[in-house]
Amino acid sequence: MDKIAILIPCYNEEKTIEKVVADFKKVLPEASIYVYNNNSSDRTVELAERAGAIVRNEYMQGKGNVIRRMFRDIDAECYIMTDGDDTYPAENAKEMADLVLNKNVDMVVGDRLSSTYFSENKRPFHNFGNSLVRKSINFLFHNDIKDIMTGYRAFSYEFIKTFPVLSKGFEIETEMSIHAIDKNMYVENVIIDYRDRPEGSESKLNTYSDGIKVLKTIARLYRTYNPRGFFGSIAALLAVISILFFIPVATEYIKTGLVAKIPTLIMCGFVMIAAIQAFFSGMQLQTGIQKNRQDFEMNLQRVSDEKKGLMK
pLDDT tens, position by position, 48-80: 999 999 999 999 999 999 999 999 999 999 999
193: which residues sit within 8 A by CB, 6+ positions away?
89, 115, 116
Domain 2-225 has CATH 3.40.1190.20: no
Q: Can you state the angle between helices 207-225 and 124-141, rounded to 10 degrees?
A: 0
Q: Of the ranges 86-100, 123-137, 252-266, which is most confident?
A: 86-100
Q: Is the pLDDT of residue 253 over 70?
A: yes
101: which residues sit within 8 A by CB, 6+ positions away?
3, 4, 77, 78
What average pLDDT does range 74-94 have in this prediction? 95
pLDDT computed for residue 145 by the predictor: 87
What percentage of residues in the chain have a pLDDT greater than 90?
A: 61
Return the domain boundaries, the chain: 2-225, 227-311
**Residue 294 phi, psi dihedral angles, 5° rounding:** -65, -45
pLDDT computed for residue 21 by the predictor: 96
Q: Is the pLDDT of residue 13 over 90?
A: yes
pTM exceeding the 0.85 threshold for the entire prediction: no
pLDDT computed for residue 118 by the predictor: 67
Contact assessment for residue 62 and residue 81, using Cβ atoms and an 8 Å cutoff: no
pLDDT computed for residue 312 by the predictor: 73
Give 231's pLDDT tier (boundaries 50, 70, 90): very high
Q: Residue 58, SS3? A: coil
What average pLDDT does range 219-241 have in this prediction? 93
What average pLDDT does range 29-44 have in this prediction? 95
pLDDT computed for residue 204 by the predictor: 59
What average pLDDT does range 234-244 have in this prediction? 96
pLDDT mean across residues, the chain: 89
Alpha-carbon distances of 170 from 253, 276, 311, rounded to whole Å = 56, 37, 32
pLDDT computed for residue 266 by the predictor: 94
